[in-house]
Amino acid sequence: MATLNLKNIQKIYPHSSDQKKAKKKKGEPEKKTNLQVTDQGVIAVQSFNLDIADKEFIVLVGPSGCGKSTTLRMVAGLEEISGGELYIDGKLMNDVEPKNRDIAMVFQSYALYPHMTVYENMAFPLKLRKMDKDEIDRRVKEAAEILDITQYLDRKPKALSGGQRQRVAIGRAIVREPKVLLMDEPLSNLDAKLRNQMRAEIIKLRQKINTTFIYVTHDQTEAMTLGDRIVIMKDGFIQQIGTPQEVFDHPANLFVSGFIGMPQMNYFNAKLVNEGGKYAVAVESCKVVLSDEKQKNLTAHKVQPQDITLGVRPSHMVLAKQPGNTLSAIIDVSELMGSEVHFHANANGKDVVVIVPTMNADGERIDSYHAGDKLNLTFSGNVCHLFGKDGKNLEF
Amino acid sequence: MNQVKKPVSVKKVILRVLLYFVVLDVCVITLYPYFAMLCTALKDRSEIFASIALGKSTILPVNVMWSNFIDIWSRAPMARYLLNSILIAGGSTVIAMLCGIPAAYALARMKFKGQTIFLGFVIVSQMFAPVVLLIGIYKVMGAMGLTDSILGLIFINAAFNQAFTVWLLRGTFMGISAEMEQAATIDGCTRVQSMLRVLLPVAAPGIVTTLIFIFINAWNEYTVALCLISTDTLKPLTVGINTFNGYNMIEWQYLFAASIFAIIPVVILFMCIEKNLVSGLASGGVKG
């Protein structure tokens, strides 16, 4: 139970001597990622500002190398903070040892102590705090009960399956009743089925223990299902902070719109026009007037008519019966998923994915479309996402 | 199908026979000196010098003289030599490990300037044969007043095994995920505690292997001990058994009986670590 304040947090990895030599020779070090490189070194995280409320579940999500794990490790104290301030419950924690931060962490690799039994693993942090033996026993058994690992307490980690090991790792973290529970991709090493199961377990666990969670993942499903708020990161920068619904409905930029949502959002080169005080988007022969909410947002930001990238989620594309004010596309592949069909189509050279229910409201079966068939696509004015040339959402 | 299979199986059989033949050869070549040593140790003095070629003796002892193994204890201070060897090998193992573990930990887990150069320097120090350095060692030990002392030998053996210790342990530590120690620091350990309570127990197989290896190396060391130690009661076994190699005659039966006695601890230790040694070297060599 704690509040966290991360103020302008920055992480710079200094150049190694080899890199410095290479830089002297070539003038510029080799760039392996899009991270910013300065004279001081590679900037892994910068301008990270986030206030986390008590008992909040925050998910840091982003592609590999975006700085999410680095941020978590800075909160844990495993990485030095190069700049900015970290407060836990109002106390500055930048130079406090990990053991004195009252945090617990679950690692992707479980990081269990292989020479200790499950019981000893879970009791280890409590023993180090010189807790009373009976209290240790009570806490370990209670945590084991919550995580359903009571029958494995005498076993060594090597005699457990991946899922059981991860439960032990979580158990070791929760016995301490820490202020903040950090989880670094805890489900990445598990197979798909177990991952779904453990995800549900974490949601249940959260209801049972009162603490603040920071959870790192690259899996958007985990981010959407677990987080109270999601922090989406790329190249060391925060792209957007918001509730799962907010980031899904109102992505701040092209990156967020593409990262959140499966399958990925469809993009079209379009024009934003203003006709008689009403904003509309025009893609080829299709023109759609935007919803009132969007009209209001665009007017408030005094957005000028311009060339834009229009984003529409696959599930928001609608099949029109007749051609007219529509986009035409030819189906490349049709995937029947049971209750819905995914059409991968080609609209004037652009790949478009359309998700439609197998049966429409009139009882017509839509899965009767096949590869090579023509689709007439349309969308309504409230599901358009408008991105300017710089990739930013024009409504923001 | 059968026609195709037959020649392959014949080839396999031939290869297998050849393999066994090679293995047998290697075994005979390797083990014969030990066999000869044992046979000689069990012979009477006159039997040793009787000619096998003329048929007056055989390789195997005619009269098995088990008493040779008892006689060596009264003819030389074997118990003293044994104690000295244990002190030297044990002491140098302890010192080499006490210095080697922190060094290997630092090299495996920390980044510092000149790390690569330091590692290279460590391995270079392993490349000198003790004989090359003998005069220098003698001078240094003389200056420190440790020429005729067990303590001097302990330091020298510890130093000679340091490079090996550092490299092997560094490999072992690098093969162990650092996340375990990080978990320990979050759980409440200091850095030293996380090393002592988590890293070292997990690295135990590698540590035991290194430990026994140093012990065996120090136990077998001969050259430096021969040059540095002049007092009879301070000699280790390797040098001490030379007592039977006298000015007037060599008492082969005692020399070999004492040699067999000296190699027994080494053989037992090797048997203990044989499996660990293979996995220890493998796990140390590859970053897991």
pLDDT on residue A24: 53
Q: Classify residue A327 by its DSSP letter.
A: E
CATH of the domain at A86: 3.40.50.300
The DSSP H or E segment spanning A73 is helix A68-76
- Per-residue confidence (pLDDT) for residue B287, from 0 to 100: 31
User: Do A87 and A188 belong to one domain?
Assistant: yes
Min Cα distance A176 → chain B (Å) is 9
pTM of the model: 0.79
* Shared domain check, A182 and A73: yes
Instruction: Give pLDDT, residue B53.
Output: 67
- Chain B residue with Cα closest to A102: B186
pLDDT-derived band at A38, boundaries 50, 70, 90: confident
Last-in-domain residue among A206, A230, A257: A257
Residues A87 and A213 reside in one and the same domain: yes
Give a yes or no: residue A131 inside a domain: no
Whether the CB of B115 is below 8 Å from some CB of chain A: the reply is no
Same domain, A282 and A337: yes
B192 Cα to chain A: minimum distance (Å): 13
Same domain? For A359 and A300 the reply is yes
Beta strand A57-61 with A229-234: parallel, antiparallel or unpaired? parallel
If asked whether residues A249 and A327 sit together in one domain, one would say no
The confidence score (pLDDT) of residue B97 equals 95
Does A97 contact B185 at a Cβ distance shorter than 8 Å? yes
Q: What is the pLDDT of residues A222-252, one digit of tens each?
A: 999 999 999 999 998 999 999 999 999 999 9
Number of domains making up chain A: 2
Residue B212: predicted pLDDT:
87
- Report yes or no on A223 lying in a domain: yes
Which residues of A fall within a CB distance of 8 Å from B180?
Answer: 111-113
Per-residue pLDDT at A199 exceeds 80: yes
CA torsion through residues A342, A344, A345, A348, sign = positive
CB contact under 8 A, A78 and B201: no
Chain B contact probe: residue of A13, A19, A99 with most B CBs at under 10 A: A99
Question: Would residue A144 count as lying in a domain?
Answer: no
Residues A97, A200, single domain; the answer is yes
Closest CA in chain B for residue A130: B188
Q: What is the mean pLDDT of residues A52-65?
A: 92
- A356 — phi, psi (to 5°)? -135, 150
Q: Does A111 sit within 8 Å of B187, measured CB to CB?
A: no
- Chain B: give the shortest CA distance to residue A124, in Å: 7
Three-class SS of chain B: CHHHHHHHHHHHHHHHHHHHHHHHHHHHHHHHHHHHHHHHHCCCHHHHHCCCCCCCCCCCCCCCCCHHHHHHHHHCCHHHHHHHHHHHHHHHHHHHHHHHHHHHHHHHHCCCCCHHHHHHHHHHHCCCCHHHHHHHHHHHHHHHCCCCCHHHHHHHHHHHHHHHHHHHHHHHHHCCCHHHHHHHHHHCCCHHHHHHHHHHHHCHHHHHHHHHHHHHHHHHCCHHHHHHCCCHHHCCHHHHHHHHECCCCECHHHHHHHHHHHHHHHHHHHHHHHHHHHHHHHHHHCCC
Out of A17, A77, A107, whose CB is closest to B179? A107
- Per-residue pLDDT, B286: 33
Q: Could A113 and B188 be called an inter-chain contact, meaning their C-beta atoms sit closer than 8 Å?
A: no
Look over chain A and give the mean of its residue pLDDT values, rounded to a whole number: 87
Residues A275 and A248 both lie in one domain:
no
User: A344: domain range?
Assistant: 265-387
B72 touches chain A (CB under 8 A): no
Give the gap in angstroms from C-alpha B124 to the nearest C-alpha of chain A. 22
Contact list, B179 vs chain A (CB under 8 Å): 107, 109, 111
Which chain B residues have a beta carbon less than 8 Å from that of A124?
Answer: 184, 187
CA of A96: which chain B residue's CA is closest? B186
Answer yes or no: is pLDDT of A36 > 80. no
Domain contains A183: yes
What SS3 class is residue A104?
A: strand
Q: Is B185 on the interface with A (CB under 8 A)?
A: yes
**Is residue A253 a part of any domain in this protein?**
yes
Query: Would residue A219 count as lying in a domain?
Result: yes
Q: Which of A240, A257, A274 is the last residue of a domain?
A: A257
Both A299 and A235 in a single domain? no
pLDDT the model gives residue A217: 93
Q: Which residues in A lie closer than 8 A to residue B202 (C-beta atoms)?
A: 113-115
Facing residue for A111 by CB, picked from B183, B188, B193:
B183
A269, A321: one domain: yes
A-B Cβ pairs (cutoff 8 Å, strict): 59
CATH number listed for the domain at residues B76-285: 1.10.3720.10
Residues A361 and A292 reside in one and the same domain = yes
Are A3 and A53 in contact by the 8 Å Cβ rule? The answer is: yes
By C-alpha distance, the chain B residue nearest A101 is B186
Is residue A222 domain-shared with residue A361, that is, in the same domain?
no
Q: What is the pLDDT of residues A99-153, one digit of tens each?
A: 899 999 999 888 999 889 999 999 999 999 999 999 999 999 999 988 889 999 9
Q: How confident is the model at residue A367 (pLDDT cuts 50, 70, 90)?
A: low
Share of chain A above pLDDT 90, in %: 42
Q: What is the per-residue pLDDT for B282?
A: 47
Using the beta-carbon criterion (under 8 Å), do B185 and A17 form an inter-chain contact?
Answer: no
Mean pLDDT by 10 residues, chain B (288 residues): 61 93 94 89 82 72 83 85 93 96 93 88 83 89 91 93 92 90 92 91 88 90 91 90 80 87 85 66 39
pLDDT of res. B4: 53
Domain map (residue ranges) of chain B: 2-41, 76-285
User: Is A78 in contact with B185 (Cβ distance < 8 A)?
Assistant: yes
Among the partner-chain residues B113, B183, B198, the one whose CB lies closest to the CB of A107 is B183
| A36 to chain B, closest Cα gap in Å | 23
Q: Do A109 and B179 touch (CB under 8 A)?
A: yes
Mean pLDDT of the region A335-350:
87
- Those residues of chain A whose CB sits closer than 8 Å to some CB in chain B are 17, 76-78, 97-99, 103-105, 107, 109, 111-115, 124-125, 128-129, 172, 176
Q: Does residue A81 lie in a domain region?
A: yes
